Chains A and B, each alone.
Chain A
Amino acid sequence: MQEHTPSEKILERVGALRWKAGHDFHDELVESLYTDAARIADRAVTRKGERGRFDMDRTIDRLVTSRWLGFPLMLLMLTVVFWLTIEGANYPSAMLATLLVDTVRPLLHSGATTIGLPWWLSGLLIDGIYLAMAWVISVMLPPMAIFFPLFTLLEDFGYLPRVAFNLDGLFRRAGAHGKQALTMAMGFGCNAAAIVSTRVIDSPRERLIAIITNNFALCNGRWPTQILVATIFIGGLAPAHLAGLVSAAAVVSVAVLGIVLTFVVSWALSRTVLKGEASAFSLELPPYRPPQILRTIYTSVIDRTLIVLWRAVVFAIPAGAVIWLASNIQVADLSLAEHFINFTGPFGAFVGLNGVILLAYVIAIPANEIVIPTILMLTVLTARLAGAGDGAGVMFEPDSLEANAEVLRAGGWTLLTAINLMLFSLVHNPCSTTIYTIYRETKSAKWTTVATLLPVVMGFVMCFVVAQVWRLFS
């Protein structure tokens, strides 16, 4: 090939020119670029009365990004979203539970008896796999079908960049990149997707911080856990007409705690192992656009709700089988699940959780979505509640929330267990998909391990401290 000589000649010449010229090519080029762009734009654009709508955007922006009102408005908006979700999800959840668990399940059982399935097979299929799916659907579908469209509407309206704007100063003081506010907001949907989105952060140091702390943004899979536990245990403390609002406030507190932890951990990382200055960037506040409500509802139901639900159902199938087998395979008079729960129980109690929760989190490593269904099933199956010979689910009555509450109280739950579960759900290892994504994005086993183990350790420490303080005062 004769190309080699000309190529090398060119590169040599470039070297010489760059050496000789000495001045900054980049700046000169950018300067003439800007000059040309300004000239061309100036000739094409006429502004007769550039006002009107722009003013409205400015007014809204002045409010939502104001020093005093910005944060309260943000909290208020989040609370309203959760309040609508909690109030709205209650009734459809109960209906779905009645239908799937109380009506369909006995039918399946009698069907199984008719065709003469052996008890272990109908147990595995109906009390394991089917029940896990039924629980996932009734617990998760209604809140998701309300929460995701609401959140997507806020997103389409253009609110997220304003949140980023509000949080930018805090991130900078934490030594992290302001764009981390956007990746964090993305994490409220799905941590794995958010970790891919950290590619918008140029500096590897700041990107690592964003990746490691993204887990503190509550994801799709964890919202339902928060909402359900808050509704049952914390909303239950308040008078009925305030229950929804109180539960919403509890969920918002946990979400805000997650944001605070993001700052604290970012700050700690940037002062220790990931030292460095925060880099500057410009953030555009796009114009507010009226959300296309029907389209948004459609896409968020199809793209988010059903995909998340499908993922939960897919993971619930093997999980249901594992749960049923673990609860029914007896070794030395106790089931495998009971062995695990008894073995880890003291540690669980020590940190203000219990063995069932710990086992549920082991089973739910592939998908956080199935934590609550797993906890319910394990509690029913191992606490040998009324009619335990019949398997699980018999406790369900038309009001599913009350039924869930009964199951959990029967399993020895207290307010402390509930609070600690909410905390642990916020601060524990990412799901396996996210862990894999972290590895793919960082290509580092070390940082993947840090991102995985750091939150688990923090979660246990946090639950332990809360339990100690709680016990001190009660």
Chain B
Amino acid sequence: MTTEETIPPKAAAGSACEACPAHHAANLIRLGVNMANWDFVVALAGNPNTGKTTVFNHLTGLRQHTGNWPGKTVVRAEGGFAYGGDRYKLVDLPGTYSLLSTSDDEEVARDFILFGSPDVTIVVVDATVLERNLNLVLQVLEITDRAIVCLNLMDEVQRRGMAVDERRLARDLGVPVVPTIARRNEGIPELLQAVADVAFGRVVCKPHRISSPPGLKAALGGLTDEVSAAFPGLPNARWVALRLLEGDPRIAEAVRSGEIADLGRHLSTRSAFATSSVAQEVGQ
């Protein structure tokens, strides 16, 4: 087994993107706790102990203490960075296995992805145990369609003689997948580029949606239509319908109070903003 075989994209991306000015890591300006006037909000989600905080530290230049044990981050940490002239606010969410149950840390993560309306959500996954990590990825993709999978710990994958086909994965998930070794800063420039691409809408995701459980199909379909009719512009009507069927009190409350509608409005104004920025960039 050779090294190139296991992580081809890095070498490939490296040569192909040389010409692209945004590629160079020098474009990254770590802003630490200075998050004023951000253009985009980026959330970092993922299972516990996959290296979210390591990615966070690399991007912001902050030194949140990282630890090799799950549950290290229980409150969300925020920091800033600038890339290609745009300012990003990065939010490190607590590590969770799912967004379905109701423990405090899962609620912090879910509420932020849903109501904090991040422009991009990076899901950091442990590539050595992909299947378990995908459970969370799929749940995130139900909520937001602006997501990136950061396939971390690729060195462990190599060491174990495994290989992960990230193109296949990207195709199946419908979102960009970037392999990284965050500890050694490998793949971070590619990750940044992917963040910028999704933030500006240069890459449009078509996220995989969980197959409707057979028993739910009929009920879900009708309800989803009703939700999208009542709240136009909502990007995750089906997910809202699912949560309602499951009896999630927080979501029922958001529907009752109309908080859900703000979500749709917020997203549509933001994509208008993003489009105008792209236009500006093209104009230059």
Contacts and interface: CB of A to CB of B under 8 A. Distances in A.
Interface stretch (A41-49, A208-216, A421-429): A41-49
Nearest to B219: A17
Contacts of B1: 48-49
A93 to B, nearest CB: 26
A138 B168 CA distance: 59
Given A52-B160, A289-B68, A36 B138 contact: yes
Given A11-B252, A29-B216, A35-B211, A47 B65 contact: no
B165 interface: yes
Nearest to B70: A284
A29 B49 contact: no
Q: How large is the interface on B (under 10, 10 to 19, 20 to 34, 35 or more residues)?
A: 35 or more
A299 B65 contact: yes
Given A11-B256, A200-B105, A3 B162 contact: no
B156 interface: yes
Contacts of A18: 245, 247
B266 interface: no
Contact of B210 (A33, A42, A54): A33
B130 A44 contact: yes
B111 interface: no
A155 B67 contact: yes
Contacts of B69: 155, 158, 160-161, 164, 182, 286
B67 A156 contact: yes
B226 A284 contact: no
Interface in A17-32: 17-18, 21, 23, 25-26, 28-32
A45 B255 contact: no
B227 A10 contact: yes
Contacts of B163: 45-46, 48
B63 A3 contact: no
Contact of B74 (A21, A50, A197, A286): A197
Given A17-B219, A26-B246, A202-B103, A40 B172 contact: yes
Nearest to A39: B172
Contacts of A205: none
Contacts of A26: 100, 246
A1 interface: yes
A256 B143 CA distance: 46
B169 interface: yes
Contact of A36 (B74, B102, B211, B246): B211
A17 B223 contact: yes
A310 interface: no
Contacts of B86: none
Interface string A196-240: 110110100000000000000000000000000000000000000
Contacts of B162: 45-48, 50
Contacts of B101: 202
Interface string B142-168: 000000000000001001111111101
Interface in A250-306: 283-284, 286-289, 292, 299, 302-304
A18 B244 CA distance: 9
Contacts of B128: 287
Nearest to A289: B68
B63 A47 contact: no
Given A14-B245, A52-B161, A28 B173 contact: no
Interface string A45-71: 111111111100000000000000000
B223 A13 contact: yes
Interface residues of A, number: 68
A447 interface: no
Nearest to B97: A282
A37 interface: yes
Contacts of B256: 7-8, 11
B139 A33 contact: yes
Contacts, number: 193
B85 interface: no
Contacts of A287: 128, 156
B150 to A, nearest CB: 15
| A-side interface mostly | helix
A332 interface: no
B100 to A, nearest CB: 7
Contacts of A9: 226, 230
B74 A199 contact: yes
A38 interface: yes
Contacts of B100: 26, 29-30
Nearest to B209: A36
A193 to B, nearest CB: 9
A105 interface: no
Contacts of A53: 156, 159-160
A292 B183 contact: yes
Interface in B112-139: 128, 130-132, 134-135, 137-139
A155 B215 CA distance: 46
Contacts of B75: 196, 199
A1 B258 contact: yes
A54 B166 contact: no
Contact of B252 (A3, A14, A41, A52): A14
Contacts of A470: none
A46 B135 CA distance: 19
B35 interface: no
B283 interface: no
Interface string B240-256: 00101111000010011
Contacts of B137: 37
B208 interface: yes
Interface in A417-454: none
B169 A160 contact: no
Given A10-B227, A47-B161, A286-B68, A28 B252 contact: no
Contacts of B79: none
A304 B245 CA distance: 47
20 contacts: A1-B258, A7-B230, A10-B244, A14-B223, A18-B247, A23-B215, A25-B247, A28-B215, A32-B210, A33-B210, A37-B138, A43-B168, A52-B159, A53-B159, A196-B74, A197-B71, A199-B74, A200-B105, A286-B68, A299-B65
Interface of A: 1, 3-4, 6-11, 13-14, 17-18, 21, 23, 25-26, 28-38, 40-54, 155-158, 160-161, 164, 179, 182, 196-197, 199-200, 202, 283-284, 286-289, 292, 299, 302-304
Can you list the 10 inter-chain pairs with the closest CB atoms, starting with the nearest?
A6-B230, A41-B131, A28-B213, A37-B134, A202-B103, A158-B68, A44-B169, A49-B161, A200-B71, A41-B130
Given A28-B213, A202-B101, A202-B104, 5 more contacts: A17-B223, A29-B213, A40-B134, A44-B169, A197-B71
